[in-house]
A and B are shown apart, each in its own frame.
Chain A
Amino acid sequence: MDVIIIGLLLGGTYALMAVGLQLQYGVARIMNLASGETLVCGAFGAVWFFTAYKMSPLYALIGVVPAAFFANWAIYRFMMLPLVRRAKNQGQLEVDSILATFGLSFVAIGILLALFGGEFLAYSYLATPFSILGQPYALNRIVAFLGAAVVCVGLYIWLHHTRAGLTLRAVSVNPSAAGLVGINVASTSALAFALGGAVSASGGTLLSMFLNFDASLGVIFTLKALVIVIMGGVGDIRGAIVASFILGLTETAVATYLDPGLTLAAAYVLFIVILLVRPEGLFGRRSS
């Protein structure tokens, strides 16, 4: 029971890292290597807010979410769209977006460094035990889990039960066909990219309650998010969510029953095995 609860909490943490990237890659087709930096920006926003105003970092979300949304919209509109228009095929776009977002992640690190310095930024918030079935769990992790649940369920309902969501899914399945039926692919992609950025940044804000950040740490979150998105399958938000929880549960089970030294190894073994069995990920569509 213990293992399941810890695993679910960790899965929630991972979902916050990955769902944003899933939207950005799944719909807008941009393999955003600066996703981790977006997350770190959200975390730094929270740290700055908490130390400046001594108020709950959750209030920082009010500023972080719209800021990340507009920043990412602008990134898509002015930096990614020219690449999309220029690319002759998906492969070319992939190469270009990897190069461009890698550069972007460096720029983001440089800016964070100039603004906040290179030290660890950490604060303590809700680091108190919360008892479930007689066992203590960190309250801040539970709050982050609830945040992840709200984001995931909200996105799922929005994608599957609204017209705007349908548009997004249409672009995700086939951009050129979506264009033919009168969907504005560029603005839909920009919306998805912006939304994905907002989700990543809010994830950073929530995670900052219990993880420590420095300006160069983004790459760790990018790597994890990439693995989760690919494991879940590109283009279906359920994939990223399910993959997050599978990883959370596996890592916790391995740490508890086998050896904590092998948790990340087990996670990557699982990732590799899943890809070997299903080369398009858990929920992915087989490409032609």
Chain B
Amino acid sequence: MNLPAAIALSHREQIKLLAGVLIFGAAALLPFFNTTYWLSIGISIAMFTVLATSWALFSGPTNYIALSTAAFFGIGMYIVGGGLPYLPFPALVLVAALAGALFSAVVGLATLRISGVYFVIFTLGLAELVRQVVAWAQHVMGTSSGLYVLIGISDQAMYWLLLGLAALVFLVGWAIGRSRLGFALRIIGNDEVVAVHSGINTARAKVVLFVISSTFAAMTGALVAPRWSYVEPSIAFSPFLSFEVVIMALLGGVHRLWGPLVGVIPFTLLWEFISAKFPSQTTLLLGACFLLIVYFIPRGVVGLIEDFTRERGGAIRDLLKRWTGGHA
């Protein structure tokens, strides 16, 4: 790779980078304003931002819908739960990342031939398999007590950790977009056959992305473990988590790096609103909301934003033209 070219940023990219830094910087200030309710929502948003954005890093360009988030999330959680007597927490997060990367590399290589709906259900089955094996192993090798993660991490620290991880996801995603890998991915996403004929190693690209995405899921599980305190299979490997991540990402939009983010934020707030206002019919109304969104916002939040900017785009361009003297 041509190094100077990779580092040199265009004017547009400098602005984008600056905007990103500002947004994350502003988000990092949240604990100074509220350390209770809004912070707990912030933690939720940060966690799902990591999961949904990293999910989309793989699934966006490849159009492969992976339901394996819970598998890696659970592995991360169990590594912290089981490893705490032997290693400090930060080391365990790294172990979780490593384990997630290794396991997802194996899975990624194994699943290259599987596509479409077969891939969707394959990943779902994989998550259930991991859960079964872990539960069985916990029984066979387990000690008399369950797995507890009783290290006091304050809510502020938890928030900053997850926010940091989210920033890392965005950096990685941005770097991928600029690299040859990103270029290859765009071609694969448009037409895999064309990509193969242009000499792109589609297999390697897919596996690398799957590994990146799964590693982040494992790290999230590891980070969240102290917040949930008690590790058990039905909580750590909840298939619902996988679906939730997919839905948030799809509702946002997966073809832009910031797409899942604009899914996660409004929908965490919307679901919080429903949970708070309609406590006896929460599930029913969540379902009704999904349906409304599918029918009335077919292209996700990104689609809404793009429609909006296109409509207003002409006017803004005119304005800019006048302002810059016709050079924009």
**Chain A residues within CB distance 8 Å of chain B:** 25, 31, 79, 82-83, 86, 90-91, 94-96, 98-100, 102-111, 113-114, 219, 223, 226-227, 229-230, 234, 259, 261-262, 264-265, 268-269, 271-272, 275-276, 279-281, 284, 287
Q: Report B-chain residues with C-beta under 8 Å of the C-beta of A262.
A: 132, 136
Q: Give Cα distance in the complex from A113 to B118, angstroms.
A: 32
Q: Give Cα distance in the complex from A105 to B136, angstroms.
A: 30
A264 and B115 form a contact (CB under 8 A): no
B284 and A114 form a contact (CB under 8 A): yes
B290 and A100 form a contact (CB under 8 A): yes
B295 and A82 form a contact (CB under 8 A): yes
B3 lies within 8 A of chain A by Cβ:
no
User: Which of B116, B250, B290 has a CB less than 8 Å from the CB of A106?
Assistant: B290
Q: Give Cα distance in the complex from A214 to B114, angstroms.
A: 35
Q: Give Cα distance in the complex from A226 to B288, angstroms.
A: 23
User: Which of A99, A261, A264, A284 has a CB less than 8 Å from the CB of B247?
Assistant: A99
Contact segment of B6-14, B33-41, B121-129, B215-223: B121-129
B132 and A265 form a contact (CB under 8 A): yes
Q: Report B-chain residues with C-beta under 8 Å of the C-beta of A275.
A: 114, 118, 122
Instruction: List, sorted by A's number, 18 A–B pairs whose CB atoms are closer than 8 Å.
Output: A79-B291, A86-B298, A94-B117, A99-B293, A99-B294, A100-B291, A100-B295, A102-B290, A106-B286, A106-B288, A107-B288, A109-B284, A223-B239, A230-B121, A261-B136, A264-B132, A268-B125, A268-B129
B312 lies within 8 A of chain A by Cβ:
no
Instruction: Please give 5 more A-B residue pairs, beta carbons under 8 A apart, in addition to A94-B65, A109-B287, A261-B140.
Output: A82-B295, A103-B293, A105-B287, A229-B121, A268-B126
B115 and A279 form a contact (CB under 8 A): yes
The smallest beta-carbon distance between B232 and chain A, in angstroms, is 16
The smallest beta-carbon distance between B68 and chain A, in angstroms, is 12
**What size tier do the contact residues of chain B reach?**
35 or more
B117 and A31 form a contact (CB under 8 A): yes
Q: A105-B287, A261-B136 are in contact. Are A271 and B294 (CB under 8 A)?
A: no
The number of inter-chain residue pairs (CB within 8 angstroms) is 130
The smallest beta-carbon distance between A45 and chain B, in angstroms, is 19
Interface residues of B in 119-169 (CB under 8 A from A): 120-122, 124-126, 128-129, 132-133, 135-136, 139-140
- Chain A residue with the shortest CB-CB distance to B134: A265
B229 lies within 8 A of chain A by Cβ:
no
Q: A275-B114, A275-B118 are in contact. Are A103 and B129 (CB under 8 A)?
A: no
User: Which of B136, B247, B281, B288 has a CB less than 8 Å from the CB of A114?
Assistant: B281
Q: A102-B247, A110-B281 are in contact. Are A223 and B124 (CB under 8 A)?
A: yes
B268 lies within 8 A of chain A by Cβ:
no
The smallest beta-carbon distance between B59 and chain A, in angstroms, is 10
B126 and A272 form a contact (CB under 8 A): yes
The smallest beta-carbon distance between B293 and chain A, in angstroms, is 8
B23 lies within 8 A of chain A by Cβ:
no
Q: Give Cα distance in the complex from A227 to B243, angstroms.
A: 16
B132 and A103 form a contact (CB under 8 A): no
Q: Give Cα distance in the complex from A100 to B297, angstroms.
A: 12
A110 and B285 form a contact (CB under 8 A): yes
A272 and B287 form a contact (CB under 8 A): no
The smallest beta-carbon distance between A259 and chain B, in angstroms, is 8
User: Which of B113, B116, B118, B287 has a CB less than 8 Å from the CB of A110?
Assistant: B287
A279 and B287 form a contact (CB under 8 A): no
Q: Give Cα distance in the complex from A276 to B121, angstroms.
A: 13
Q: Give Cα distance in the complex from A279 to B122, angstroms.
A: 10
User: Which of A91, A107, A109, A261 has a CB less than 8 Å from the CB of B139?
Assistant: A261
Q: Report A-chain residues with C-beta under 8 Å of the C-beta of B190.
A: none
B98 lies within 8 A of chain A by Cβ:
no
Q: Give Cα distance in the complex from A105 to B247, angstroms.
A: 14
Q: Give Cα distance in the complex from A269 to B132, angstroms.
A: 10
Q: Report A-chain residues with C-beta under 8 Å of the C-beta of B26.
A: none
The smallest beta-carbon distance between B247 and chain A, in angstroms, is 6
Q: A95-B65, A111-B284, A234-B117 are in contact. Are A104 and B291 (CB under 8 A)?
A: yes
User: Which of A86, A91, A230 has a CB less than 8 Å from the CB of B122?
Assistant: A230
- Chain A residue with the shortest CB-CB distance to B281: A110
A103 and B118 form a contact (CB under 8 A): no
The smallest beta-carbon distance between B88 and chain A, in angstroms, is 32
Q: Give Cα distance in the complex from A268 to B124, angstroms.
A: 10
User: Which of A219, A259, A276 has a CB less than 8 Å from the CB of B239?
Assistant: A219
Q: Report B-chain residues with C-beta under 8 Å of the C-beta of A114.
A: 281, 284
Q: Give Cα distance in the complex from A79 to B295, angstroms.
A: 9
